[in-house]
Structure 1
């Protein structure tokens, strides 16, 4: 598993080279990677069906308990199979869809990297590894959504998706860290059995909020649902893959994976039930208003994601089984419908449902595939979608909390989804033939193969649902339910869920019949849509931009003095708080100061103050030199003659050089206002006083053990030298000394270069440019 994921990223990087060799067949060649992973997963099926798990660990950062650990159980196996199988079909489809696009190599790099990131996410066992792959899916999906980067709409949609999902990712990071602290492990497999300990921990509430924020933003739950329809700016293969098996399913996977740990709390049940139910109904209501085929399908995905979240919130055995069936059914019909949307787009030149009609004659095979997938979306027999809808109603009827609300929202979503499915099938393929930008033609075999296979599987699994029973049982066991095997059937007899399905069918037919009128009436609500979550996102982004502009003008105004003042103020706040508040600085912790020490300090202060008051540059340099010589005197008083000699030499050289350089410069001019000078005086005085108190506190305190004992004890055994100062400089502080040598070497090189320049040299004349002599 580890080699497969890592090799996948390498393969993605080789896409441009393969395209140079293989041309239009590159996508087919790259589809061999996910296809081979499908075969490997099928080979592991007997192990998974028996309830076993596969754990592969590779130490990554052992000191932090971080490992590249992959864990394969029923849940991970199902998601990995969907990712690889649908990924292979999407690659085959995209090879023909983007045949004439010069950016196809870039697309293949991104789509395969996206596939591997998602695969690593569902297989990861370590929380840190999971988060890394989580963020990789956000980054790669951002690049895929903005694939047409010259289109402003694509760039805007890509940025919106990144801001929402990456913001949720930050919350998720905090939640995962708190989860590891509360559960005592970074392993998901170990955390699955520590739900009680996590629930009783003081961090349970904050970590639950953070984890749910991360999952809700990724899976487009309300109020973060708006980014998903806008992501339809991506190429159709990306939309098909993103909606059916990846990205949005990442949030659903995380909720399912953490269900054994967090699913027993009432807060989890209530939050997921309400948010999932509201997202489900809202997605169906917004879908029925659309005429753009891809956006209509996107809102139906929002509905399905809400339904899956609702089922995970209910959390009973029946709800978890319904979740698995609904997940598989949605992956099959949604992948097929999006791929059909791409075929219709290329064949007709439009994605507007109202601009298509009568295509069943020109595109019979596409119509057949679309019909099967739409019937599954509608939840009609004998498709797998019908079994999923029946299981949804059955689970909602057994909900332990908020049963009435959940049932009402589920029924509303079911009838509107049926209307959406009818529109997808009837409007393009039936009715009167309409004039379209292109003359319609049947899709190529490479483009029809994927949706036909997905729609056919939806029909076969609906007719023979027993083939799913072992998979559902194994997956439900991975969610922490160790009960009897799940039984699936197409016919349960005359039951209440069947009655709800029939009622939704009748009401959905009425919606289809009056769709044009309902859509016209709903247009009156358009001004209020700006007040929703997407409008809030826009207002928030505009506010952030204004804040960024204001702080840029204030903090990054291009003046060095402003940067210095800000840096010193931060130093005052942080160091002052640590010194006075956290460590409680007191007079008792200060060493005594002798009279001669105070006099030397006063001499240094007078030199600094004189330098600030002088109007002559040379006088200011002399005052600074006096301060430097006072520092050398301090070294003498504290028995450091070597440092005193070094300070005297450096200070003398500095004064001489500055005097030579500043000799021809004009006198100081007052450019600042009195208020600014007063501010600078206060800041400088506070910083100087703080640093002085900090040094005195260090000298007078014993809060931390001294390092001098270690140096004395190990100077000769480790450094093999009797001069302790030399051992410290050469051995214990070798890198520091090396840095100082490099600095001195650079300075010597600069001085040598300056000495080599002679007045009137060629370099000087070249730099001077045209002068008086050039004009005679």
Structure 2
């Protein structure tokens, strides 16, 4: 498994850095890769009937409990097969849809990286590795959404999506760390044994709040939903992939994965029901008032995600089975409708449904496939969506407390979704043609084939549900509920209330579809309410933070080095001084102080004279030379007290500093006379305060016994554990290896920044 996942990331980077040498027509070959992955995970699907759960463990950082553990069960295989199966069609579709794009290698590199991140996320059995893949999905989706980076809308949408999901990632990491601490392990499988301990802990509510924050932001739950319609700036294949089987389903996966552990029948379930219920009706309502095909599909996606969260919140046997079924139903019809929207945009160069009609005459096969997908989204009999809608109504009707109210909410949501599905999948293909035949670019095989495959699967699974029922759906249900079920999908349940509700939904949704042209006034009213929408509120909050940052920067980061030093020194003096004087009893030292030896006193006097020269000289060279003398004096003190390695380091640094200062400052004019007594007095007070505090700390430290445990540990273990005789080097490279690594990364980033600035300047000079 580890080799398979690594191969995805290796391929992504190979495409990214060498893809520019590949002709666009050869990118079709990369479709084979996700198809092979789909075949690979199909083997695990077959294996689930003998081994319902398989754990693959690979050590990574075992001392911290962070390992590359992968869990193969019904839920992970379901998502893995959706990611790779629909991914294969997306690769195939993109090879023609984006064939004229200048940076096709970047697109395929980002797409492959995203696919690998999603696979790692759904397969991980370790909280930390799951989070790492979670963040990789945010980063790679940022590149995909902002792929058309020359357009401001793409850049803004990518930044918005990254900011919202990044905030959620921070919350999710916090929740995972708390969860791992409470359960004593980062293994998700092992945590299932600590269910009662975790749920009875006083911090349980905070824990689930943090996990909700991560899941809701990623899966576009209200009020974090607004990033998803903005992500429509991405190329259509990206939209189809992110909204059907991957990005937005990541939060759903996390909620489903942790339902067996955190579901308590109260806080967890009721929160999911409330948030999911609000999201599903909000998204469905807004979807019918949009005119852009991708916007319609985006808001209906928000609603569909809300439905899944809502069902997980209900938590009954019917509800979980309905949620699992609807995950597959939504992936099939939503991918088909998104790809259809891309074909329409590619064919007539517009996605505005008020300007499109009669395209079924020019692309009949696409029209038939789109109609099937739309009928499935509406829950029409013989479609896979019909079966999932029946399960949804069974779930709400059988909910003891608020069955009628929840059913009414589900019916209202589905009525709007029927209308939006018809708007996206049927309206563009019926009626009088809006374009002349010569103005329509008919789709190639690479464009219409994926749509047909998805629609055919929707029809097959609807008419013959046993293909997925007793296989993948049952296994996924078992993973979430931890108990087996006797439920099974069937096309006909007889004449009952559920069937009546399904018929009512279709009738009302169809009437709403035909009445949609009269909704202009409602649409205008909704536009007036944009000022109080979550998106606008978040934008105003963002502006407030930006204004605060501007004021903060003007005060503390105004570009003057002396001000930076003043702020740092004053802050340290106040903070350390408060702690020092409030907690440590001041003692007067009357003994145990050794006297100055003559050579120590001589060096000390030389240092004082050098400081005097720096303060009062009018020559830069004299100040630099004095600074060097101070450094050499400190080096001698290090030697006197048995620290030759520090002395050598200090000597080298001071020598280099003096040389650089002389080279840089030699040709500058002389010091300007400075006679501002207020500033001189301020600097003197700050300097004396800081120096006096350090002196007091040093003197008081002599009154307390020194602890040698840490230094003794390093001395005893430097050679045995790290095979190094130089203790300082071993500390830097091994015991504090991460610290040194991060410092190296910072220096590398700074070097890249300097290189970029110099290169940019060189380009501008050539242009001039």
Q: Please, what TM-score do these two structures have when normalized by structure 2?
A: 0.85
| 1:415-430 alignment runs, 5 A limit | 415-430=415-430
1:653 is displaced (CA, Å) by: 11
**1:684 partnered with 2:687:** yes
**1:704 partnered with 2:707:** yes
1:69/1:125 contact within 8 Å kept? yes
Deviates more, 1:524-533 or 1:364-373: 524-533
2:604/2:633 contact within 8 Å kept? no
**2-side partners of 1:232 and 1:632: how far apart?**
62
**2-side partners of 1:713 and 1:71: how far apart?**
41
1:163 is displaced (CA, Å) by: 0.7
Q: 1:514 to 1:608 in 2, by over 3 A?
A: same
Deviations 1:389-415 (A, max 9, x none): 111111122336654553333222111
Local SS of the residue matching 2:359? coil
Aligned partner of 2:320 in structure 1 is 320
| 1:448-487 alignment runs, 5 A limit | 448-470=448-470, 471-487=472-488
Aligned partner of 1:514 in structure 2 is 515
Aligned partner of 1:357 in structure 2 is 357
1:270/1:402 contact within 8 Å kept? no
1:384 is displaced (CA, Å) by: 0.7
**2-side partners of 1:355 and 1:51: how far apart?**
54
Local SS of the residue matching 1:487? coil
1:319/1:391 contact within 8 Å kept? yes
Q: 1:663 to 1:244 in 2, by over 3 A?
A: closer
Aligned partner of 1:543 in structure 2 is 544
Aligned partner of 2:232 in structure 1 is 232
Deviates more, 1:431-440 or 1:591-600: 591-600
Local SS of the residue matching 1:587? coil
| 1:36-51 alignment runs, 5 A limit | 36-50=36-50
Local SS of the residue matching 1:482? coil
Which structure 2 segments of 5+ residues have no match? 734-768
Q: 1:704 to 1:295 in 2, by over 3 A?
A: same
1:514 is displaced (CA, Å) by: 1.9
Deviates more, 1:58-67 or 1:25-34: 25-34
Aligned partner of 1:766 in structure 2 is none
2:714/2:731 contact within 8 Å kept? no
**2-side partners of 1:672 and 1:518: how far apart?**
74
Local SS of the residue matching 2:702? helix
Deviates more, 1:400-409 or 1:79-88: 400-409
Aligned partner of 1:163 in structure 2 is 163
- Count of residues paired in the alignment: 723
Local SS of the residue matching 2:55? strand
**1-side partners of 2:714 and 2:419: how far apart?**
80
Deviates more, 1:205-214 or 1:216-225: 205-214
**1-side partners of 2:29 and 2:459: how far apart?**
29
Deviates more, 1:49-58 or 1:430-439: 430-439
**1:97 partnered with 2:100:** no
| 1:9-24 alignment runs, 5 A limit | 9-15=9-15, 23-24=23-24
1:683 is displaced (CA, Å) by: 2.1
**2-side partners of 1:314 and 1:678: how far apart?**
69
**1-side partners of 2:28 and 2:669: how far apart?**
74
| 1:126-141 alignment runs, 5 A limit | 126-141=126-141
1:689 is displaced (CA, Å) by: 2.1
Q: 1:577 to 1:411 in 2, by over 3 A?
A: farther
Aligned partner of 1:491 in structure 2 is 492
Aligned partner of 1:66 in structure 2 is 66
Local SS of the residue matching 1:382? coil
1:314/1:401 contact within 8 Å kept? no
Local SS of the residue matching 1:46? helix
**1:340 partnered with 2:340:** yes
Deviates more, 1:663-672 or 1:11-20: 663-672
Q: 1:666 to 1:70 in 2, by over 3 A?
A: closer
Q: 1:630 to 1:46 in 2, by over 3 A?
A: closer
Deviations 1:513-559 (A, max 9, x none): 22122233321231221221110221122223223333332333222
**2-side partners of 1:657 and 1:461: how far apart?**
77
Aligned partner of 2:727 in structure 1 is 732
2:715/2:727 contact within 8 Å kept? no
Aligned partner of 1:309 in structure 2 is 309
Deviations 1:238-294 (A, max 9, x none): 111111111000010011011111112511111111110101001011111101001
Q: 1:633 to 1:126 in 2, by over 3 A?
A: closer
Deviations 1:310-332 (A, max 9, x none): 01111111111000111010000
Aligned partner of 1:530 in structure 2 is 531
**2-side partners of 1:119 and 1:737: how far apart?**
36
1:280/1:303 contact within 8 Å kept? yes
**1-side partners of 2:92 and 2:641: how far apart?**
80
| 1:122-521 alignment runs, 5 A limit | 122-399=122-399, 403=403, 405-435=405-435, 439-470=439-470, 471-521=472-522
Match 1:695 to one of 695, 698, 719:
698
1:18/1:26 contact within 8 Å kept? no
**2-side partners of 1:448 and 1:22: how far apart?**
25
Deviations 1:418-450 (A, max 9, x none): 111222234211112213796225422221111
Local SS of the residue matching 2:193? coil
**2-side partners of 1:641 and 1:277: how far apart?**
68
Deviations 1:169-214 (A, max 9, x none): 1111111111111111111111233221111223322221111111
1:491 is displaced (CA, Å) by: 1.8
Local SS of the residue matching 2:71? strand
**1:587 partnered with 2:586:** yes
**1:32 partnered with 2:35:** no
2:161/2:227 contact within 8 Å kept? yes
Deviates more, 1:702-711 or 1:404-413: 702-711
**1:110 partnered with 2:105:** no
**2-side partners of 1:175 and 1:545: how far apart?**
28
1:149 is displaced (CA, Å) by: 0.8
Deviations 1:339-362 (A, max 9, x none): 111111111121110111112221
Which structure 1 segments of 5+ residues have no match? 719-727, 739-776
**1-side partners of 2:282 and 2:106: how far apart?**
36
Q: 1:709 to 1:382 in 2, by over 3 A?
A: closer
RMSD: 4.0
**2-side partners of 1:398 and 1:205: how far apart?**
28
Deviates more, 1:201-210 or 1:673-682: 673-682
**2-side partners of 1:532 and 1:21: how far apart?**
47
1:288/1:519 contact within 8 Å kept? no
Deviates more, 1:458-467 or 1:365-374: 458-467
Local SS of the residue matching 1:700? coil
Q: 1:548 to 1:707 in 2, by over 3 A?
A: closer
1:28 is displaced (CA, Å) by: 2.6
**1-side partners of 2:707 and 2:700: how far apart?**
12
1:574 is displaced (CA, Å) by: 5.0
Q: 1:119 to 1:678 in 2, by over 3 A?
A: same
2:52/2:475 contact within 8 Å kept? no
1:24 is displaced (CA, Å) by: 3.8
**2-side partners of 1:413 and 1:114: how far apart?**
31
1:686 is displaced (CA, Å) by: 2.3
**2-side partners of 1:212 and 1:410: how far apart?**
22
Deviates more, 1:73-82 or 1:353-362: 353-362
2:41/2:81 contact within 8 Å kept? yes
Deviates more, 1:296-305 or 1:346-355: 346-355
**2-side partners of 1:76 and 1:697: how far apart?**
60
